[in-house]
Amino acid sequence: METATFGAGCFWGVQAAFDRIPGVLETAVGYEGGTLERPSYREVCTDRTGHAEVVQVRFDPAKVSFTSLLDTFFQEHDPTQLNRQGPDHGTQYRSVVFYHSPEQQQQAQAAIARLQQEKRFSRSIVTQVVPASTFWPAEEYHQKYLEKRGAVSCHI
């Protein structure tokens, strides 16, 4: 089993997208990349802790590749928007891949280069590729938020 961590704006819809992928064993939403220990949603929303809203994905690499997870990541948000997604803005909504190995770092950087070369987006990709740090799980009411409400997506 391997772990991948992605920040792509509001974590609810991103979690739902990863949950639909065969080979994904579990997902959890939370916060990563900031300075405060055990941050709460309320603290992260101040845009002062440095954390991003993220989805941590545990997956079986024999059933789904990290590259396939990257494809989903880039399909689920606009990686050209700096510190925002749609109406949500602030550094907590930044586009970021927190890599857990040198291979993940290389694959994420290669995916960005490929998408730029293909001109898939009209603007430059601003996705950060940074080492994984401490993942702080979000409050229970955020976990599987859309599933608990019978929703499939929260995209606008």
Instruction: Report residue 13 as tokens.
Output: 């819809």
Hey, CA dihedral for 21, 25, 145, 4, is it positive or negative? negative
CA distance 117 to 132: 26
CB 57 within 8 A of CB 6: yes
Q: Which of 10, 14, 28, 64 is catalytic?
A: 10
Instruction: Report residue 62 as tokens.
Output: 């024999």
Phi/psi at 57 (nearest 5 deg)?
-120, 125
10 is catalytic: yes
110: nearest Cα among 64, 54, 76, 71: 71
Q: Which residues are catalytic?
A: 10
